[in-house]
Amino acid sequence: MVNGNLPFVIGAGFGRTGTLSLYTALNQLGYKTFHMKEIMYGSVDINSWADMAEARVNQDTGHGQINSLTKRKEADELAIRVAKEMINTGYNATTDFPISLLYRELMDLVPDAKVILSVRTSGDVWSDSVLSTIGQVGGLFSRAPFRFIPHFRRFSTIDNWIWREIGVAVDSSRRLDKDELVKAYNDWIENVIKSVPKDRLLIHQSRDGFSPICKHLGIPEIECPQYYPHVNDTSDFKIFLMVGRSSCVLFWALVIGVISFILRKMTKRTPKNKYG
């Protein structure tokens, strides 16, 4: 762990761009880093995030220009609120979805922050990773029994906003299109590079290691860790998806079993004694 005089770090990269490795690396440097896990596992209030996500999705559905402007203003205010809540909770670094989508709001709130744009080798590689992992979460959580559980229902709202925010269509099947993902990835990188001053931006791949991060954050080379953490959660994620799908099957098996039992009870008749 290095000294406490560290600049605030804004992670502007999408999920599945080495964000868990970056999260681990920043924590190793002494940061308290905000990651999707904080929302998923209840470290922060998921309701604030879900309210903001729902407002962002619905901000253009108002009738009339004034109504639409009002909805957009409310959505922007909620986005700033969740960003402030995150900062006030003590986090001084961010990475991963969904906080990366608020990097502009964070830049306004913390003008001297440094930005790290985590990337993969290409949009094609990134989209394949998404489609085999986080791109399946929305579809899973929209199914029973998860859709009946408030926490997962709220998380599904956030997931829906994430894809819509970056320009990927989300239909009732919750399947994502590979070509749209690739375009969204490339457009995002281009927009971040254009909107963040060069002296505040670092474009980073996990294979680059600690050295460029330490240089970007003003950490002396002698205090910079040598070994960068390479945390790949793909296998764990696939196990999570498998368990989730199994839960859906077991849920409906249980429902069918209960209904069958009730029907048997209702249709069962005790033979009457004709002499009684």
What does the pLDDT profile of the chain (276 residues) look like in tens digits? 444 689 999 999 999 999 999 999 999 999 999 999 999 888 899 999 999 999 999 986 655 565 778 888 999 999 999 999 999 999 999 999 999 999 999 999 999 999 999 999 999 999 999 998 999 888 788 878 888 889 889 999 999 999 999 999 987 667 899 999 999 999 999 999 999 999 999 999 999 999 999 999 999 999 999 999 999 767 777 777 777 767 776 666 666 766 776 777 777 655 555 544
pLDDT value of position 36: 95
Distance CA 83, CA 103 (A): 9
For residue 164, give the nearest of 245, 212, 98 by alpha carbon. Answer: 98
pLDDT value of position 276: 45
pLDDT value of position 267: 79
pLDDT value of position 62: 59
Q: Which two tokens stand for residue 192?
A: 């971040």
Distance CA 56, CA 103 (A): 15
